[in-house]
Amino acid sequence: MEVLIRDTPAAVAECAADQVVSALAAVTGRSPTLGLATGSSPLGLYAALGRRVAAGQLDIRAVHGVALDEYVGLPPDHPQGYGVVLERTVCDVVGLPRPHLHVPDGTAAGLAALTERAAAYERTILALGGVDVQILGIGTNGHVGFNEPGSALTSRTRVKRLSDRTRRDNARFFTSLDDVPTHCVTQGLGTITSARRLVLVATGDAKARAVADALEGPLTASCPASVLQWHPDTVVVLDEQAAGCLKNRSYYDAAAQGLAAASGEQA
């Protein structure tokens, strides 16, 4: 796992954009697949990717976007539905073609129909060749996607109950807490860790505890983001505030200097 710490959220966004662009550029012989998170954390990254596209450094036209999650029970045109949010924050900002945006279906009536469509979503990801690089945020309770504490580490896309904490955290996007859906369809932790590269971005004090638990605590379903420790190509990009509870900070900074810098020191 690589942990890259930057001074500001703007620098976090640029650094994460470098990681995403290099992962997409490495794909040959098929359309690249980009895993998309919603929420506040990746907005700066999406803006940075939009600038790369405008500068001709990223060709987004063939890329497919695969959402992590969707609320259950919102009408398809609800402004806080994740399909609509990603149209606004990724298609409109980065230029991802709308027909290339794939989002779990939270509109089906009843658990059986939702479960069947969740399985179809897994097949869609497979048909696209899997996710080349998955963008992630982290919840204050350590969730990734909407895999709340207690989620199976090998889980696949399915219906989940949202925790009270997540509903309170996300109430800022709705008129009131009562309007926040109680359930979602989310990629599982097994789905997320099947992506070839994971890029998690976190900024601000509110994420510091969850980030430290995920990176330096035990691998446990009690902190779903700790599953990142299991993945061979994870990059975590943090600002100073989100890095505030890390114990191994000096190691991460030294490692980020790279081999060339270390050789220079020894010379």
Q: Which residues are catalytic?
A: 69, 141, 143, 148
Nearer residue to ligand F6R within complex by CB, 182 or 257:
182
Q: How far is the CB of 130 from ligand F6R (least distance, A)?
A: 18
Residue nearest to ligand F6R (CB): 137
Nearer residue to ligand F6R within complex by CB, 65 or 145:
145
Please choose, from the candidates 116, 166, 160, 122, the residue with its C-alpha nearest in 3D space to the C-alpha of residue 140: 166
Helix (H) or strand (E) holding 136: strand 133-136
Q: How far is the CB of 133 from ligand F6R (least distance, A)?
A: 15
Give the up-direction half-sphere exposure of residue 31: CA atoms within 13 A in the CB hemisphere: 17
Give the up-direction half-sphere exposure of residue 24: CA atoms within 13 A in the CB hemisphere: 26
Helix (H, G, I), strand (E, B) or coil at 67: strand
Residues forming the site for ligand F6R (CB under 6 A): 37-41, 68-69, 137-139, 143-145
Which token pair is 227?
A: 């599953």
Please choose, from the candidates 85, 135, 168, the residue with its C-alpha nearest in 3D space to the C-alpha of residue 236: 135
Count of Cβ atoms closer than 10 Å to residue 115 Cβ: 15
Phi, psi torsion values for 103, nearest 5 degrees: -135, 140
Report whether 24 contacts 132 (CB < 8 A).
Answer: yes
Q: How far is the CB of 139 from ligand F6R (least distance, A)?
A: 4
Q: How far is the CB of 143 from ligand F6R (least distance, A)?
A: 5
Report whether 197 contacts 134 (CB < 8 A).
Answer: yes
